[in-house]
A and B are shown apart, each in its own frame.
Chain A
């Protein structure tokens, strides 16, 4: 096994504009991801899990520490790390096909080649016949299929997914999880997948990172050694679910306590 991605003592601090105080979002996160591994990052809301993903993507600089991909430090976003957004972030003026071929277009790939690649991806995400539709004409699930295909069109070795199914209904979520596993099985990507849903993490992940409430730290790193496809109703699945739920519940309660005394609500705010 080779190490694909390293997160070395990454910290992140934000300055709160209202109170001018410094908020520590991430505290010395360490993580090593093997090539082809699927890692789910699980944590209460506000724990900084999306911030961590944004740092790995190069969207945000860390306040301390560094991220390395193939041993090289990350300084900016790049096509070697595909990103899938919770709110899809499709280009509304581009059709399904044009969204998917955006990466290849930027690289200057020949029209015939990039069309062939986009069409193949469209087939794999079951959107044949929708090539020329604009994003506003698609359902949420379809939009995210396009979002995933757009990221895959660059054939990145690392795929970063920020609660990609968070905006979808429960049924669509299940279908999308299965489709993603199929896509990943075919492509062997290294995946960092942020979620707040425990069952989603167990279905998808080789290993699950459980984060603490803010400032986010790695609380536990659990391997999921269940055979695939994973049966949500099996005793092993449920035991793992209970373990993770116990670990997370404490953090959720902590984060609620931390968030509760909102200065604005107490009349101390601006």
Chain B
């Protein structure tokens, strides 16, 4: 998990990303690869400009961003709450753990046909798939985190006079935060996978839908532009979540320089 944001590190990142893009462009310019199979970055940018006319591209981006935000938020909140409940109430933990272990092994992609049946082509099917992806890492990491809370710390709090409620809010929850953040971090990856898969399979707008259309029209540059956009949006999401993590876990050794 990368957390630092030193200027030196930023410089290296900029350099490596630029180098990668330049190398890719060179491969196409020097005709090492067929541009119809691997379009150059420049072709992708041109396609982006072309698609921006009339706000078409923006409409797709907004549709995807709204979906991922809703789904990731829903899945994370439900997952953390369920994980905490499972960790706090032993009976619930023991009852739900096998169900969670079965459901988590079913890839969110496998739910797409059923989701479309359940929600038709509406937003529900997409949000359901994304939520499903984000849900399980959040549940599992939170649940593990509660179970792994240091006994000595619990004892310390009890000997200082903590009631059950105080123990939960003031000890278990903050002690579990690093695990919760890991759950969200992993869940974000699943959420993105779910988003694009759902949009490829059944949507009227969104980046995945745009990629699907481009494929049908043999417009590889457009497809690549869409994929690059996913990468950029995903990068922003990771960067944002990393900033949240660094703030929430500012007491944790891992967030230090």
Chain A residues with a Cβ under 8 A of chain B:
57-59, 76-79, 81-83, 85, 87, 89-95, 102-103, 105-107, 134-136, 150-151, 154
Stretch of B71-79, B105-113, B159-167 at the chain-chain interface: B159-167
* C-alpha spacing A102/B153, complex, angstroms: 12
Check if B45 is an interface residue, CB within 8 A of chain A: no
Check if B150 is an interface residue, CB within 8 A of chain A: yes
Q: Is the CB of B158 within 8 A of A76?
A: yes
* C-alpha spacing A95/B251, complex, angstroms: 8
Q: Is the CB of B161 within 8 A of A93?
A: no
Question: Chain A contacts of B161 at CB under 8 A?
Answer: 78-79, 103, 106-107, 154
Using a CB-CB cutoff of 8 Å, which residues 159-188 of chain B contact chain A?
159-163, 166, 170-171, 174-175, 177
Q: Is the CB of B158 within 8 A of A89?
A: no
Using a CB-CB cutoff of 8 Å, which residues 27-49 of chain B contact chain A?
none
Q: Is the CB of A102 within 8 A of B160?
A: yes
A and B contact pairs by CB, cutoff 8 A, 21 listed = A58-B158, A58-B159, A59-B155, A59-B158, A59-B159, A77-B155, A83-B159, A89-B150, A89-B153, A91-B156, A91-B157, A93-B174, A93-B175, A93-B252, A102-B170, A105-B170, A106-B160, A134-B251, A136-B252, A150-B160, A154-B161
Which of chain B's residues has its CB closest to A87's CB?
B152
Check if B253 is an interface residue, CB within 8 A of chain A: yes
* C-alpha spacing A150/B157, complex, angstroms: 10
Q: Is the CB of A85 within 8 A of B156?
A: yes
Chain B nearest CB from A29 CB (Å) reads 20
Chain B nearest CB from A194 CB (Å) reads 14
Q: Is the CB of A94 within 8 A of B251?
A: yes
Question: Chain B contacts of A136 at CB under 8 A?
Answer: 251-253, 256
* C-alpha spacing A94/B173, complex, angstroms: 13
* C-alpha spacing A85/B156, complex, angstroms: 8
Question: Chain A contacts of B159 at CB under 8 A?
Answer: 57-59, 77-79, 81-83, 151
Question: Chain B contacts of A154 at CB under 8 A?
Answer: 160-161
Q: Is the CB of A83 within 8 A of B177?
A: no
Chain A nearest CB from B181 CB (Å) reads 12
